[in-house]
A and B are shown apart, each in its own frame.
Chain A
Amino acid sequence: MSDSHPEDGVDRSPFPRADVCVVGAGPAGALVAAEVAAAGHEVVVLDAGPRFDPDDRVERMERQLRPGADAPVWDIDPERDAYSSSGDRDYPLNAARVKGIGGTTLHWQGMVMRLHEQDFELRSSVGLGEDWPIDYDELRPYYAAAEEELSVSGAADNPFAPPREEPHPLPAFPPSYSDSLFAEACEAVGLATHSVPNARNSEPSDGASACVGYGTCKPVCPSGAKYEATRHVAAAETAGARVLDRVPVQRLEHDDAGDRVTAAVYATPDGEEHRQEAREFVVAAGGVETPRLLLLSESEAYPDGLANSSGLVGRYFMDHLFAGMGGTLDEPTRQKHVGFNTTESHQFYDRPDDSRTAIKLEFLNYAGPSPADIALSADTFGDELLDEIREGYGTHVAMGALVEQLPRRENRIRLDPSRTDGHGNPVPDVVWGVDATTRRTIERANEIQRGVLEELGVDIGWTVGPDNTGPAYHHMGTTRMGTDPTESVVNPQLRTHDLSNLTLAGSSVFVTGGAMNPTLTIAALSLKAADHIVERL
């Protein structure tokens, strides 16, 4: 059977002998696909979004640099990506997610830290959240492997980091000039700082460029130095995997007993539906679309959604909250040369007790506007504009922070039956709020930031605190991992309790979210999931 789409001539017909069908071509799906295909198995990857042309990266960069451009950096399909937000806080779901080959790694900043040992035993150590069913030691070799896969640039100078066995694959990016301005103030207030592990090449690696300093990492890296999951999609394809774009999966079907998934039903651009059968299925569609697909796959055996005997699919949605503060110094601070950070502090990461959650502190290298930012929105021209630019650029500094949000049952992804996407499926409804413990932790982050900035002599101009905080767009927790089928959706092998051949890969399986950017843990868990799948095949 053939289904060559008339627009692009791509054959999107099902593969007749697939061992594994992966839904989602972001970092989780791409890593699983590459590993399983490399082990000699037949893999099909289905993604809702398009295959972006690498040659378009520079044009996409311009969309970011020029306000007034009439297209988003990464294409949003208003019908495909429709959503609702009905919680205490509005959740702008499409602000930072990308549907397409490579997923949100096309957009991401590229910060890759391991979770701490305490993250895996939060309930038993300080009485917060829940314990994971695995500990740091179990994930540790997968973290090392993930750092290799993502060509992480890092150093062993972080006194707060969990134990590691070998250096990062590439050397860390050295500290910035503005980091050096912060150093003395941090020492004075007793704040220890260290380098940042980055998923961008400090040296050329595996055929990818070293960073050349475009300074637009988020939302687009034109040089290819920043890790994108397209690398592992390419590796999977080289190993024989078949990767289909623009084929949103509509639902999963299962056998009569409700024990095994039998097919992923997907739509092609011409409006036809097809069934991809396989021995094993992996849903790796992120913390929102993964639970949505399960909920859309309701059946007589699973009236509340596939793999949802626990009733927890979609529950415990978590994100990281941003806390920040910035202002100006009376001297040049050399911002905006690069788009990534080179110094952080994890000193306030581990929780001393149940009074607060985790805090990860960042020192920004891109505070304030660039000269072009000022010029493009200015109401003066000529020499007067140049004076305005000289006044507005060059003396800004800022600190940011990620703050942990604990899992709460009422924060959830559910279906909105009143609104449907382009295929008639109910859209995801993000029900999200910020609790008192998180607000208190944001206030604590602001206190630390204020102490450093005041010591440095900064004229503080802005604060992002508990009232104006927003999400970091790290969607976690909606198909949590555990050993008790009544309290979790997947087991420690990332396989659902209900269906024996269905694996969920990605941040949806996180039990707690910590305050570290999640992608390295997503990658480590995906490599672990791939091992288990290969063992079963």
Chain B
Amino acid sequence: MQLSRRDALAALSAAGVGSLAGCGAPVASGGTDGDGSGRTVTPNEDDDRRDDEFGGHELATMVAVAGTVYPSAVDGVEGFVRTYTDGRVDGDDAYRGGIAEAVATLDEYTEGLYDARYVDLSSEDRAEALAVMSVDDVDPHPHGTDPQRVRHYLVNELLFALYASPTGASLAGLENPPGHPGGVQSYREGPDR
């Protein structure tokens, strides 16, 4: 299943990024890319330039973590994560700092374990690193322990982005998940709609 920029914008809407613009009229699952978001998120086509502006390493790490925690059934992960993360941290210095700090924590951990930053690990080692760090076994907390902050700012941020989006939730059969203004038709329809 292909993740699109529209999915990233829908996830941003559920993540509370945006005003009520676009929410005043019934919105079905279609619409323009701006529907449901409010705040304009301008995707930067020049990844190199954007990497200089908001931590290219942080973004690359988010993409790498997504590759570990997302299912293999989704494609277009890099563009989705970059668009979502751009919007998520835009104008929110505290959140931007939280992500950067969590990435540094994760890197410090993997450098001690594998002598390499997280992004430089193989996919197997990336999965193992999260497990050894117990990120799979802790409750998320923005001010908690190292694993709790990695879970909050990196893992759960990405899982929320995916599974609160219509495309991600549709992997489990829910095309209008909570937080998405997907109209009042789908709840009436059976699985073979």
Chain A interface residues toward B at CB < 8 A: 54-55, 57-63, 65-68, 70, 173-177, 180, 202, 204, 209-216, 222-224, 331-332, 334, 336-339, 342, 365, 370-372, 374-383, 385-386, 389-390, 393-394
For A377, the closest partner residue in chain B by CB is B139
A213 touches B174 (CB 8 A): no
Contact, CB under 8 Å: A215 / B178: yes
Other 5 A-B pairs with CB < 8 A, given A58-B19, A371-B174: A66-B160, A209-B23, A211-B184, A370-B177, A374-B163
B54 CB within 8 Å of chain A: no
Given known pairs A379-B136, A382-B69, the reply for A337 and B23 (CB within 8 Å) is no
How far, in angstroms, from A98 to B142 measured CA to CA in the complex? Answer: 25
Docked Cα-Cα span, A214 to B187, in Å, equals 12
Contact A372:B159 (CB < 8 A) given known A58-B19, A337-B174: yes
A336 contact set on B, CB distance < 8 A = 174, 177-178
Q: Which residue of A lies closest to B14 (CB)?
A: A65
B127 interface contact, C-beta 8 A: yes
Please tell me if B116 contacts chain A, counting CB pairs below 8 Å.
no
Interface bits B149-193 vs A (CB < 8 Å: 1, else 0): 000100110011011100011011110111111111011111100
Answer whether residue B64 sits at the interface, using C-beta atoms and an 8 A cutoff.
no
Question: What is the CB-to-nearest-CB distance from B8 to chain A, in angstroms, rounded to a whole number?
Answer: 15
Q: Which of B43-51, B70-78, B100-108 contacts A (4 or more CB under 8 A)?
A: B70-78
Is the pair A68, B152 in contact by a Cβ cutoff of 8 Å? yes
Q: Shortest Cβ distance from B169 into chain A, in angstroms? A: 5
Cα-based distance from A222 to B15 in the complex (angstroms): 12
* Contact between chains at A380 and B136 (CB < 8 Å): yes
CA distance A517 to B31 in the complex (A): 36
Inter-chain contacts of A370 with B (CB < 8 A): 163, 169, 174, 177-178
Cross-interface CB contact of B72 among A176, A210, A374, A383, cutoff 8 Å: A383
Contact among A70, A204, A382, A389 with B163 in the assembled complex (CB-CB below 8 Å): A389
* Contact of A70 with B159 at beta-carbon distance under 8 Å, contacts A58-B38, A176-B187 already known: no
Q: A372-B178, A376-B140, A389-B163 are in contact. Are A381 and B171 (CB under 8 A)?
A: no
Q: Are A214's CB and B156's CB within 8 A? A: no
Q: Which residues of B are found within 8 Å of A214, using beta-carbon distances?
A: 178-181
Contacting pair A394 B184 (CB below 8 A)? no
Contact B20–A381 (Cβ < 8 Å): no
Task: Find chain A residues with CB under 8 A from B72 CB.
Answer: 382-383
Residues in B whose Cβ lies below 8 Å from that of A371? 163, 168-169, 171-172, 174, 177
When distances are taken between beta carbons in the complex, the residues of chain A under 8 Å from B177 are 215, 336, 370-372
CB atoms of B189 and A213 under 8 A apart: no
A386 close to B171 (CB less than 8 A): yes
Which residues of chain A have C-beta atoms less than 8 A from B71's C-beta?
382-383, 385-386
Central interface residue in A202, A374, A385, by most chain B CB within 10 Å:
A385
From A332, which residue of chain B is reached at the shortest CB distance?
Answer: B191
Number of interface residues of B (CB under 8 A): 58
For B169, the chain A residues whose CB sits under 8 A away are 370-372
How long is the Cα–Cα vector from A158 to B159 in the complex, in angstroms? 43
Which residue of B is nearest A386, CB measured? B71
Known: A68-B141, A332-B191, A375-B162. A389 touches B180 (CB 8 A): no
Q: Judging by beta carbons under 8 Å apart, are A215 and B176 in contact? A: yes
Q: For B69, what are the chain A residues with a Cβ–Cβ distance below 8 Å? A: 381-382, 385
Is B68's CB within 8 Å of the partner chain A? yes
Which has the most chain B C-beta neighbours within 10 Å: A67, A211, A382?
A: A382
Cβ-defined contact, B140 with A394, below 8 A? no
B183 — which chain A residues lie within 8 A by C-beta?
A: 212-213
Which of A58, A62, A376 has the most B CB atoms < 10 Å from its CB?
A58
Contact residues in A for B155 (Cβ distance below 8 Å): 381
The answer to whether B172 touches A386, judged by C-beta atoms less than 8 angstroms apart, is yes
Rank and list the top 8 A-B pairs by shortest CB-CB distance, nearest first.
A62-B16, A337-B187, A68-B140, A59-B16, A386-B71, A212-B181, A215-B178, A332-B191
Contact status B184-A338, CB under 8 Å: yes
In the complex, which residues of chain B have a beta carbon less than 8 angstroms from the beta carbon of A215? 176-180
The answer, among A60, A173, A390, for a CB contact under 8 Å with B172, is: A390
Q: How far is the CA of A30 from the CA of B129 in the complex (A)?
A: 56
Question: For B187, what are the chain A residues with a Cβ–Cβ distance below 8 Å?
Answer: 176-177, 213, 334, 337-338, 342, 365
Q: A58-B18, A62-B14, A210-B26 are in contact. Are A176 and B137 (CB under 8 A)?
A: no
* Cβ-defined contact, B136 with A70, below 8 A: no
Query: Are B173 and A213 in contact, with the CB atoms below 8 A?
Result: no
- With an 8 A cutoff between CB atoms, is B119 at the interface? no
B130 at the interface (CB under 8 A from A): yes
Residue contact B179 to A62, C-beta cutoff 8 Å: yes
Contacts of A211 in B (CB 8 A): 26, 184
Q: Measured between C-beta atoms, what is the minimum distance from B70 to chain A in Å?
A: 7
Chain B residue contacts of A70, Cβ below 8 A = 141-143
**What residues of A have a CB within 8 angstroms of the CB of B112 in the complex?**
none
